[in-house]
Structure formats: C-alpha cells, structure tokens
Structure 1
Amino acid sequence: HEEALMLVAEDFNERAMRSVEWTREQLNSPDLDKTKRHKYWNYLDSLAKKREHRQGDLLFVHGSPRKPTHEYVFPKDSLDQAKIRSMFAKFDRFCFCGHSHIPGIYSETGKYGHPKNLNNGELDLRRFRKLLVNIGSVGQPRDHDTRACYVVIDGSKLMFRRVEYDYHATANKLREIKQLPTMLADR
C-alpha cells in the first residue's frame, strides 16, 4: 500500500483507490506540520523501497514470494500446484507474508493448515524443509476471528498468537470518515 501512495496504485479496486487517495490527502494536508509531513513521507518512501526482507533463511514479504507487494496467498492456492511450486522456488527455507489477512501455513506439497488446527497454534519448524506462513493480521483478520493475529518464532517453534482488541472502535472510526467506503469497516 505504501507503493501505491508513493508511486502508482496498480490493480487497486475502487474502494482501495479511494482509501489511497484519502490517505494521500491526509498526508498532504496544510494542517499537518511541514516537518511531520516530510517525516511521514520519508518513512513511507523507505517502506515502498523494501519489497522484501531476508534474514538468514527467512524471507519476509507483504504479498507473496513471487510478487512481494502485489500478490495474495489464499488457502485455495494450495490446490494450484504450479503456483505453489513457483512460490516455493523463491525462498530457501521459510517465507512469511500477510497480504490476504488470512493466517495459515502452506507446505511444499500444497497442504494448507489453519492455526486453529495446530496444537495450541504451535508448530515445530524442524519438521519442515520449507514452509510458507501467512501470519494473518493485527488489524481486521479475515478468517472470521476478530482477534488480532501474529506469529512468534522461538528457536524451532512457530506460534500463532491471538489478542483481543476493540475492533468495534476501529470500525466506528472508519465509518466516521465519509470519503471512505463503509465496507472497509464492515469486513
């Protein structure tokens, strides 16, 4: 999304485009202190330039290993062996993404697992040669569980964690912004 603000919004639907335009207006507001404005834009620019981050055998992307800023990874993709193979060819051991806001793990063989089906949301990473992990989202998870979702790695253990947050307050704040579609609050 930072890329859309800084450059051009490619393949954005109308609702997403309206959100980008509203955000751009807020960041360009004459009411915003010039120093703060430059600070925000510089920070967003730094994010837009970081399409991926590698740390050892870990790859971190927003979208997918194939298209780090644009492509979604959905549970149904586990049935598309060509997509699975091409995604897994892009990383050495573990890849973490989150664009779809749907948490889960994908194996090289195309199996998908939701965190609720894991032992207390935990997984022993030593059991896998390679793994693609969608960490979910700390804002508006899209797996019908309103709690924020994130992942912790401790040694060889991967743990999905859920935390309650006041999603009603967040949704209400979105509804108050008349320039934004209400569906952004209701999903």
Structure 2
Amino acid sequence: MHLIISDAHANYDALTRILESVRYDSVIFLGDSVDYGPQPAETLDLLREVGSIILKGNHDAAAAHGISCRCAEELRPLSGYTREKVTMKFLSKEDLMFLAGLPEKVEIEVDGKRIYAVHASPRNHLYGYVMPDISDEKLASELYDVDSLNPFPRRLDHDLILLGHTHRAMMRKLKSIILNPGSVGQPRDGDPRASFALLGEEVRIERIDYDVENVVRKIKDLKLEKWAEESLISILRSGSTNNISRA
C-alpha cells in the first residue's frame, strides 16, 4: 500500500495522525510542507523521515528562494505573513537548502503502474490550478497536451497522474486516473479533516479526524497579529477560506 499526500503546510499534528493511522509501504508527498501552520521544521523532518518521494511545492519554493508563492490573491497576505513570522523563523539553512533541491515532478513506476507526479499541473509544475470542477475537455488539455517545462512537448500516457496544490480532493478518470489527495494540513473543500489517498490494487481518497484544537493552541502560542491568528484558526476549523480576515 502506498500513501499519497500533499499540502501539509506545517501542520505536524495532522500529518502525524495520518502516518500513525495508516499502514503503508511508501509515501509520495506532492509538495508544500511549509507556511500557514505552526510547525514547519517538525513537519519537514517527519516528511524526510518517511517520504520515499518528496516534491517541491510553490510555498516550498517561495521559502527556499525568497520568491512569491503566487497563491490565490485572497491568501497572499496570510501566506507572506506566516512565511516571514513562522516559516523563516523556524527553518534552518539546511532545511531551506533541502527545499531548494527538491524536484518539481517525478515519473515513476509503482506496482506496474506508470505514475506522473507534480505539485500543481503538468503545464505549470508549481503554480497551475486543476480544480475539481474543471471540464473533461479542459482537463484533457491540461494533462495530455503538453509538459510545459519539457523543451520537447509531449502527451502524457501514464496510468496515474498525481496533483496537489488546490487543497481540494479529486479523482477523475479519462485516459488516466487523475488524483488529487487533498490537503493534509489545511483542507479548503469544507471538510476540515485531514485528507490523503491510498494506492493499492485500486486508489481511494480518505479523510481522518485529528486534534484541530491542539493546532489552534500552537497557533495562539505564536502570538501572531490578530487578523492572521483568526484567519488560520478559521481555515483549520471550517476547512474553508470563506471567513479569513485581511491584514
């Protein structure tokens, strides 16, 4: 059994809950270990301990290279604030070098299944959005027409295409199975439970409860500005960004 996870976002409690509750032979992590959550260093350490494959996400790139995460506009103030006040405060130079060296995509074979894994999209490895409500036509174009960072564009013909980034779980079937396991640490689909996927003979998405209020306590201990604290807590409790505050 192979565990597929994404977007942990420094939520060590949620990640630990999944890892302690699921039997797995390997872990594929689709990126974004840092920002938003209170424990970036512990989360990254745990991923390095268990992760057979760890990809770079847009937030990982932002922390490692000092660039914009280019996330959704309404979340940019919160992202930038937590990166400055939490992520960069707790990560070591070695942590940042590790994030900088992560791959943006991998192509592997697992149990006879050919897998293409990326944080966001084959067209745009770090920043593309493939939302659950995308039409089949647009989805096919996004996935099969071009690998945008390959100088010789090609059609993907893998059995399973793994995506993260949206914080919304999705499984679709076209020529391939297209899977987004949702977010470990900060779901935004209205369900605050930690989300993950399991790959065996079949692939399935699962959710699991974890101690959200313990993470809330850790956020409060950081003594962040009120708007940021309230926004982070609201997202964790509701699984939604609808009620976040502005700086």
Residue equivalent to 1:55: 108
TM-score, normalising length: structure 1: 0.72
- Aligned mates of 2:60, 2:115 — CA distance in 1: 22
Q: Measured at CA, do residues 100 and 10 of structure 1 come closer, stay the same or move farther in structure 2, by a change above 3 Å?
A: closer
5+ residue gaps in structure 2?
A: 1-58, 148-155, 236-247
Is 2:132 the partner of 1:87? no
Equivalent of 2:133 in 64, 72, 76: 76
Give CA-to-partner distance per residue, 1:57-91, whole Å, 9 cap, x none: 21111112221111222123237x33541323343
* 1:75 match: secondary structure: coil
- Give TM-score, length-normalised by structure 2: 0.56
Q: 2:231 is aligned with what amino acid?
A: M
Residue-pair matches, total: 154
Q: 1:133-157 CA distances to partner (integer Å, 9 max, x unpaired)? A: 11112212222222211111113x1
Letter of the 2:100 counterpart:
D
Contact 2:121 2:130 in 1 (8 A): yes
C-alpha change, 1:82 and 1:146, in structure 2 (3 Å) is closer
- Distance 1:72-1:82 versus aligned 2 partners, 3 A rule: closer
Larger Rg: 1
Instruction: Answer whether contact 1:103 1:134 (CA < 8 A) is retained.
Output: yes
Q: What secondary structure sits across from 1:76 in the alignment?
A: coil
Give the distance between the partners of 1:71 and 1:175, measured in 2 at CA: 32
CA distance in 2, matches of 1:39, 1:5: 12
Partners of 1:134 and 1:54 lie apart in 2 by 16
Query: How much has 1:40 moved relative to structure 2?
Result: 1.6
> Structure 1: where are the runs of 5+ without partners?
28-36, 109-128
Does the CA contact (< 8 Å) of 1:77 and 1:84 recur in 2?
A: no
- Relative contact order, higher structure (CA 8 A, sep 6+): 2
Once residues 176 and 84 of structure 1 are traced to their aligned partners in structure 2, the CA distance between those partners, rounded to angstroms, is 45
Q: Which of the residues 233, 237, 243 maps onto 1:185?
A: 233
Q: What is the letter of the counterpart of residue 180 of structure 2?
A: N
Which residue type is aligned with residue 53 of structure 1? V
Residues 171, 186 of structure 1: 8 Å contact kept: no
Aligned twin of 2:171: 105
Q: Secondary structure at the match of 2:172?
A: strand
Q: Quote the offset at 1:10 in angstroms.
A: 4.6
Distance 1:86 1:72, change over 3 A: closer
- 1:78–1:106 Cα contact (<8 Å) kept: no
**Distance 1:169-1:20 versus aligned 2 partners, 3 A rule:** same
1:64 partner letter: S
Moved over 6 A (4+): none
Kept in 2, the 8 Å contact 1:140–1:167? The answer is no
CA distance in structure 1 between the partners assigned to 2:140 and 2:217 by the alignment: 38
Looking at structure 2, the residues matched to 11 and 86 of structure 1 have their Cα atoms a distance apart, in angstroms, of 19
**Counterpart amino acid of residue 118 in structure 2:** V
User: What does residue 40 of structure 2 align with?
Assistant: none
Where does residue 82 of structure 2 map in the other structure? Answer: 19
Contact persistence 1:150–1:162 (CA under 8 A):
yes
Give the 5 Å matches for 1:107-146.
107-108=173-174, 129-146=175-192
CA deviation after TM superposition for structure 1 residue 51, in Å: 0.6
